Amino acid sequence: MTINYNLAVSTSKPWTLFKLLLKWRGSIWKSVIVELIVWWILYAIVSIIYRSALNPRQQQTFEKVVQYFDNRLSYIPLNFMLGFFVTVVVNRWTYLYQIIGFIDNVGLMTAEYVRGRGEMSRMYRRNILRYCELAQVLVFRDISMRTRRRFPTLDTVVAAGFMLPHEKEKFDEIQYRYSKYWLPFQWALALTYDARKKGLIESDYYQVCVTNEIKTFRTGLAWICNYDWVPIPIMYPQLVCLAVHTYFLVCVLSRQYIISEHATNKTELDLYFPIMSSLQFIFYMGWMKVAEAMLNPFGEDDDDFETNALIDRNITMGLMIVDQGYNRPPEIRRDPFWDEEFEPLYSEETAKIPQPSLRGSASQIRLPDHVQEIRMVPLADDKDPESPTLRRRVSVVPVKRDETRASRRSSLSATEVFGNIKRKVERSFSKSKLTEDGGTPAPVKSISATQLEDMETGAKKNPLTAQISAPVNTVYNVEEELDTPAKSDEGRPSRSQSGANIRAKDFMHHVLDNVIEEDEDELNRKKSVHMQQAKQHLQQLKEKLDAITGEGSIAEESIDTTETELDKDQRSERTEEDTPETGQKPDDPPEERSITPGPPKERERSKEFYIGPYKSDDEH
C-alpha cells in the first residue's frame, strides 16, 4: 500500500526529514540495497586481486587501466539523462492520478436529478452508479495486477456483486476482438434516457448534467487505458538503465585505491572501503529507482496506486449518496450568528496564536502628518514641454487628516523623511527662479477664483486689463471664497461655477488648464473653402445637364436653390457664433440678474497659481 508520511512532516523541524530516513517500506534503502551489496562484492574482489594476486609488473599495468577509466568517466552524461527521464515519468504519474476516477460527482448529480423515493427511482439511481463502477473494475482488471489478482475472471466480478448474472449474459453476447469497457456506460446512459421519459428526471437539462458526469468519468478511464497501451518508448528506459549500471561497473575499476609507491596516481590515503563511491552509488541508483517505481503506478510496488481500495471506496460511497443519503437535508433554522457579527471561536490553546489579517502588504502605509495636499501632475512623456498642444493640467487634492490619523502607523523610514525635506527645499528654491532681469521678482496679482475661470483655455480677455492676454511669468494669488448658501437656496442642487462654490467639507479639486485651441478665423476660412468647393461642384453638374438634356432651366433652378441653402447655412453659423450662449440677441441689452444676499463669508483661502512657460518638476 501507499506509504503515507504527511503527518511526520507536518511541522518543519531540524530533525523532521531525518525521521524519514529510518523508515524501511518504500524507502531508498529497500530499493538499492541489493544492487549496493552486489557492487560492494565486485569492488572487494577486484581490490583483493589487485593487492594479493598480481605481481609488481601486473600491478603497474592495472594502475594504468585505473587511471585511464578514471580520467574518462565523465564521458557518460548521467545527470542529464536521469534528470530528463525522471521528469517525464513524474509528469505521467501525476496525470494518471488526476484521472484515476472518483465517482463522487456521478453519484451527486444522479441523486440530485433522478428524483423519487419509490423502489423504481431507487433502482434507477443505484444501477446508474453501479454500472459506472463496473466499467472501472473492468478497466482496472486489465491494467493493474492487484485488481487482476482480486478478480481473475468475470465470474468473480459477478460474485462480488458488481455485475448481475443476467447482465453477464448480455455482456457475453457481444463477442469481438476488442475490450468492452463501453458497454456498462451504455447501460448507464440508457437508464438516464429511460428515467427522463418516465418523468423521474424533470427536464432535458437535468439529463444532460447527469450524462456529462458519466462521460467525464468514462473519458478518464479511457486515458488510463491509452497510457497503459502506449508507454514511454522502451529505448529511453533501456538507455537510462544501461548508463547507470555501466557507470558503476566502470567505477569498480576506476575507484580502486592505488598502493604502488612509484605510481603517478598513488592514492594519498588507503581506506580499503570506497566511502564516497558508495554514497554516489546510493544517490544515482536511488534516482533511477524513483523513476522505475513511478513508471507504472498500477503495479504492486509499495507506492503504487491502491486500485482495490479505490474500487471499494467508490462503490460504498456512491451507493450511500444515491440511496441512504438521497434528499435528506436538515431542517432549515437560523444559524447562531443571525443578526450578529460573526466572531470565530478557537480552542484555548490555538486562541493564543496570533492570526494574520489577510490584508495587502502596502495597505497600512499612510501619509505623513505634515502632508496637507497632493499635487497630481501629468506624466513626463516624450512630448516637448514647450509645445502649445501639450495639455498642462495640475490637480491639487486635499488630504483628509482625520482618516489618515485614525489608521496611521509609524511606518516612515529615514528615506521618506529625507525625501520630504528635499521636496520642501525644492519648493522654496523654485520661488527664487520666478525672478527676471537682475533679480526682480515676478509680479504678484490677487484675483478671485471667478476671475481665474475667465483665464482658462483659449480665453482672449483678462478680467484685470480688457483685451489683453494674461502675461507670462506672473504669480496670481487666487482668493477662494467659501460662502454658506442662502436660505432661499436650501434644497436646490448646487451648481459650481468656480472653486468659490465648493463647500469646505467636499473633496475639492483645483484644476488649472491652459489648452491652446484652434483659431476661429482659421475654422471660418476652412468652412468657406468647403462652401466654394461645393458650389463649384454644383456648377459642373449644371453644365453637364445643359449639354445632355437641354433642360438647363430646371437644373439651374434646382442648383440655385441648393446654393441659396448653402449661403443660408453659412450665414446662420456665423450668427450663432456671434450670439452669446444665454440665448440673447446681439443687440439686446444684457439680462439683469438679481442676487440674493447671503450670510457673511465664513473664511477665505488663497492659493498661488503660476501662469507662464511650462516648467518640469525638477526645475521647480
Q: What is the DSSP string of 398-437?
A: E--HHHHHHT--S---HHHHHHHHHHHHHHHHHHHTSEET
CB 99 within 8 A of CB 143: no
* Paired residues of 444 in beta bridges: 475
CB 25 within 8 A of CB 2: no
**Per residue in 55-79, pLDDT tens?**
989 999 999 999 999 999 989 989 9
Q: What residue has cell string 511541522?
A: 11
**Per residue in 276-286, pLDDT tens?**
999 999 999 99
Between CA 113 and CA 205 the distance in angstroms is 10
According to DSSP, residue 518 is labeled: P
pLDDT attached to residue 427: 61
Question: In this structure, what C-alpha cell is assigned to residue 151?
Answer: 478478480
Nearest to 468, CA basis, from 445, 484, 489, 440 = 445
Nearest to 289, CA basis, from 26, 509, 41, 56 = 26
Segments making up each domain of the chain, as ranges? 23-97+233-294, 99-229
pLDDT attached to residue 508: 41
Q: What is the pTM of this model?
A: 0.60
pLDDT attached to residue 574: 54
CB atoms inside a 10 Å sphere around CB 64: 13
Between CA 310 and CA 325 the distance in angstroms is 20
Q: Which amino acid is at 460?
A: K
Helix residue ranges per DSSP H, 144-160: 145-150, 154-159
Q: What is the DSSP string of 132-145?
A: HHHHHHHHHHHH-H
Contacts of 10 (CB under 8 A, 6+ apart): none
* β pairing state of 435-436 and 440-441: antiparallel
Q: What is the DSSP string of 353-385?
A: S-------TTTT----TT--EEEE-----SS-T
Angstrom CA distances, 381 to 38, 378, 474, stand at 73, 9, 26
Question: In this structure, what C-alpha cell is assigned to residue 607?
Answer: 492659493
Residue segments in the chain with a per-residue pLDDT below the cut of 70: 1, 380-394, 401-520, 522-523, 526-527, 548-620
- Sheet order of strands, 373-376 included: 373-376, 393-398, 510-513
CB 136 within 8 A of CB 100: no
Contacts of 255 (CB under 8 A, 6+ apart): 43, 70, 274, 277
**Per residue in 418-443, pLDDT tens?**
566 656 656 655 555 444 444 444 45
Between CA 239 and CA 237 the distance in angstroms is 5
Mark 336-361 as b/e (b = at least 16 C-beta within 10 Å).
eeeeeeeeeeeeeeeeeeeeeeeeee
- CA 463 to chain centroid, in Å, comes to 56
